[in-house]
Structure 1
Amino acid sequence: MKKSATSIRSFLLQRTFIFSVLGFLVLVSVTHYAFTKSIEKNASVMAERIAKQTFNSMYLVMSQGWNRHQLEQFMKQMEKDNKDSDLSVSIFRGDLVTERFGEMESPALSDTHRQVLESGQSQLVSTDDSISYYYALNAKEVCTHCHTNVTDGDTLGMIEVTQELDKSLLNANKELILTLILVSPLPLLLAFLATRQITSRIDNSIEQLADSIDSIESISDLSRLEEGRDRLAFRELQDIFSQVKNLSSKLNDIAVDKELLEFEIRLLEKFVITSEVVRDWREYVNFLIVDINKVMNVYTMFSIFKVDNEVFDLEVFWLQPPSDRTRQSMEQAIMKRLAQDGSPFELIDINIRHNMVNEHAEPMDLDDDAIELQCKSLLVETPKIGGIVGIGVHSDTIQDTTKLLVLESILSTLLNVVGSVRAIYKYTKDLEYYATRDPLTNLYNQRMFWELLDYELDRADRHDYKVALLLLDLDNFKSINDGYGHSWGDKLLADFSEALQNALGKDAIIARYGGDEFVIVLPESDVAHAAQVAETILLTSRNHSLYYDSNTFLKLTGSLGMGIYPDHAKNKKDLFMFVDNLMYRAKNSGKDQIALPNENELVDIFKEMSDKTVLVTQAIERKELIPAFQPIVCSNTGEIHAVEVLSRIKLSGDRLMSASEFIEIAESIGKVHQLDYIVMDKAFEQVKITGYEGKIFINLSPRSIIISDFIPTIKRLAESHAINPESVVFEITERDTVKNISVLESFVMSLKDKGFKLAIDDFGSGFSSFHYLKHLPIDYVKIEGEFIANMANDARDMAFVNSISHLSQELNVETVAEFVESEEVLELVEKAGITYAQGYHLGKPNPDLEGILKTTEVFVR
């Protein structure tokens, strides 16, 4: 059990009583001892005196000529006088006197008597109840006149004086004890009074100390403890108080108010990054300032972001509108802080933006000195996430070390949170843009084209109007890339896209479908209107040029196909195939022209479309599909890491039809999964023959997900050719799968259970890619080729690629860069930390796997 503490008053009273009693007993003992010794001393002195007086009396008697009888009478009278007294006197004759004068009646001799008589030395003998003094009578010269038989110094006899002390001591002790008993209450009373006075002063001092401590409600109140020190009555308590004050000073440096901790917890709860936070990060910071001001006064918060080389954004957030003078002073104070020696912000361009939390509040006017002294900032040497390089506040809290500690903690957290929010905000904006736009031309991308076309066709059905679709393919554009380089080809495409958009206006939906292909959707448009727009497109391409040098302008022409819904097709895929056929007719007719849907030629066009369908059907049924292999190499060494399997149909004259020309047909007739089986079977066979041991990337068609026997079939194919499932990587895209993500997740988990690996193809082309990365066990990310191809010329594409690379590294996912068409791009890919690369610069698709393995060796770095 825990022992309970006693009070100082009780302790003092207990100890005072105990020590008073002990003191009294000691006093009695000492007094008794001293008194006894005093009596004994007095008794010994008296005995010696009586012995000498007796001798003197005897000498006087004998000197007067007293006879023996008179002497005996004298001695008897002396004994009689001492009979009722506690004092007795006895006289003993020595041998020499007996010899001269004869025997005399006396008590028997004791050992002490004989010793004194023999030695002639007087002795004092004390016992517990008596004192005896043995006085030796030694002869002097005068004695020899009578005692003729002695000489000077001989012992004549001895006088014994004995005093009994027991009665004296008893009476004395009674008197002493009675006296001590009578005075004993006095020390107890005095001790009680002293204790009461002491405890009273101690109580008062402790009460004052307790009041001083009780007055502490927060860490900032600790500074008031010094005020109560002088009121304490005892130096020891003042010393204790000083120690408490020293402790409070230490606590003031390390402790944090409960209110501040609760505030910090509440504030940290608001650091959860939600979609609302990302939607407007500046509004988020405004709310944070309001919450911070509930606990401490923070007038201003500022953050610095790196947006470009030597260019920074300074965002200043005000609790309420500042006066013009205050605004200028704050800008100067911040810039002064940023421009200190050795700061990365020296000699740079800073864009300043001011944000108001409460625009309608009274203008705030701050003192210049207060601004300078009350600014606290946290700067980093290199940009953090979101490009943030610094954050700071202006607050009077800077003068409070405790709150400053919390404030510094908040600043450290805000540095990362605000940076992350701004990064996600910017990244989301970019993602929203790139999910719908082609990064090179800023036109809609292929994915968005199909969604918009589907929307317009549905609207046309509901409102009973027509929709025109035009497909433009630039003529001989490959010669421009080959002759002037891809960078100039990209510039020409971007420049032409802008001119095309200006020419057609907002009524037309323009998208970049492929490398040099453009599609235009014209809502509520018939053949006549569509033909006018087609002429405008051709004129725009003919008249467009790009300055290359003083002697050269890069020019364009294009071949155009056109179709009308629902006149020429009943769905979007058939409409596109119809227009695609017309576009090829225009090319085959000499290029730089429009192929309009002629009523007389419609039968031939549909027949060509039907022939393509028959061709694809026969190729699947006869297993005439062949695999083509494109290498995927390590970006830093050039060694082959994997090959991607692509589908081809062999035509007459050793020509190969690419997958882009027949995949949609295979999907429309519901046989794309059979196509996949055939290509995988033949690809696995070549892998086994050549002894290739690297990874095999295979495109996974959306229909495969809903085919129940797809996974058992590919597992059987792998086993039949002794292919390890872990070497097979299936590529998925978001197309047609995002609508049923749960089915996709179940399918993917079944693939992973069988040992196969998974890759996201065209990563970054839409939101679904990120959804897959979050929810699916992805092994590889293949970055959208458009971003890779343009990263050397567009800082946005470079930033986007770097972001994907960093994200993949954080998630421990391998990355593959597509469309690596030059050594420059390959170097940028390696610099960005992308693991693998794929593109024509490293190897084109080829049905000869063994030849690819040998040819690609020249790229080993």
Structure 2
Amino acid sequence: MKNRYISNKTLIIRIVLSVLLISVVVLFISSEYLKKTAVDNLALDDAKKTAKLVFETMNTRMQEGWEKDDLNEIIQRLEIIRSGMKINSYRSPLVEELFGVVPEDKKISQSDPLIIQAMNGEEVFKINKETGAIRFLYPMKVSSDCTSCHVNASNGSINGVLDITFPQSEIKISLDMIFSYIIGFFVLFLLVISYVFFMVINKKMVEPVVLLTDKILEIQSSKNLTKRVNIKSNIKEVGLLQLHFNNLLITIKYYYDRLIASIYTDDLTSINNLSKLQYDLETKNSNLSIMVLDIKSFGRLNQVYGKKVSEFILKEFTKNINTVLKNNGVLYRLYADELAVVYNSKLTHKEVVEFSEIIKEFSYTYKKSSFMLDTTIGYAYGNNKDVFSNATLALKEAKKRKCAIFEFNETIAIEDENNHHMNWLNKLDDAIEHDQIFPYFMPIKNTKTGLIDKYETLVRIVENGNIHTPDKFLDIAISSGKYHIITQIMIKKVFEYFKDIDDVKFSINIGISDITNATTMQILFDNLENYNYSSNVIIELLETEEISDFELLHSFIKKVKNYNARIAIDDFGSGYSNFNYIINLDIDIVKLDSSLIENMYTDQHSVVVVSNIVKTIKELGLEVVAEKVFSPEIEQILTIHEVDYLQGYEIGKAQREINK
């Protein structure tokens, strides 16, 4: 099969040759047209000038009293001026009335329609198509000078006709006129050729590339890796680009699928894993049933018989469960010996019991040794957000009660939550009593210098080497009234840590409830008063509740700024934190909420939103800090959009000590 593609080089050669051919044709047609037009116009102009010259010469001689023969002699001399030129003059009836009729001339003038036409006062110009000879008939009109002799005529009357004939070769052309025609023709020729060249290049080369680009952008915006570019073009390079881009999509799709499979698939059993379960629960919006299964004594089996045997049994066990399910449920491996089964319908206790009895019946043989497995099951039914945690809680309760199957109910949820709260309440008391509350420092990077020159102070409880973050204890601290104690400890320890450090800025988180607590405020302002580098301090207002008392907040900010400290507002773009606060409060720094940042790498809309927010904030003269920067791609995007400072795991985790 003949290759339908041509290279750009070949195409350009073809285009150039085609344009040259078109140019020759256009040049030939245009030159013929212009030649004809130029000859006509130039011949007419020259004929008029010659006729006037002859007429003026004859008129002058007639005023001197010359007769017809004398005039004929003058005409003969004038004919010598140009080779091949012939001049004849014919009297009108008015002249014949005064000076007589010339028979030969009379006969000619009455038989030639062109002379008759000229006798009526009309200039006649003709070119002989066969010989190319030019003929011009000029009506000689009476002027005021003529009436002294031609007493029977008046101004404008026709005294006769000059009949002048000469070949084209004798046309007299001015140099200016020649240049005008040449320049006009050259400009017209360039315009035509440029237009043709542009249209051909645009059609054959530009349009396919533009179409290819549009298709690529369309696929990029749709984020659909199954789409393909398919444009009709015989340009080799465009075809290769299209082919390579489609192959690239295939490769990306292949590795993307493998990546997703590795993320969502258990390496040992090749079934879905915990990450897949969490993803599925996030994407579903319906009520589900979940069974969570714990294989009894599986750890003991692994310890006695070894990893190879236990892994073999576990793989066979998951195969048997899938056989039982028959696509009625989806199996997931959660941890070493825990599995989950998700159903789209509500499970009855009878169905769970039947399932449990069936999987107990399977036996597993490894090198002539036979094994049987038993399970503990907790199950729950509900919405996708809570059902998994409820099923896990039911499993925990089943183990606690030493029963094989347990269904979730609200009573155990309340008991579990109460136990959790009491446990953490005790840990909080111990942390306060035994000095286990410490500030940790999250580095903040300056995008202009690339240096870490700020830190956000975050609270941690360090207990027996275990580091506990605020998400585990802060709500309990607030509900138990111990939140202010934690804030006060943090303020003291942070100022103590930075007392001799003069070149690092740091922020302290303060909530609205802290501002209303007199003891907390006294400790804060005492430390600001006694700290030598208060311009390094940033008070970060936490967005935990709506601000209703702006007067109180204005007063607090004013007092803080008396010490040259700065004010930042946290979590801008979510909840209560909005442009209203920026406009109405005297703040210096805006920290963007993490929800704006998280999707920037995959969602172009998030990039547009963040870019416009940053632009507006910076136009107000404020600094912008982005939180939760978790990847190099996010860091690069935020830097491009001129965010001033970045913090997150990509920049660095919170540590007990700063980098000095």
Q: Which has the larger radius of gyration?
A: 1
* Greater RCO (CA < 8 Å, at least 6 residues apart): 2
**TM-score bucket of the superposed structures, by smaller chain:** 0.3 to 0.5
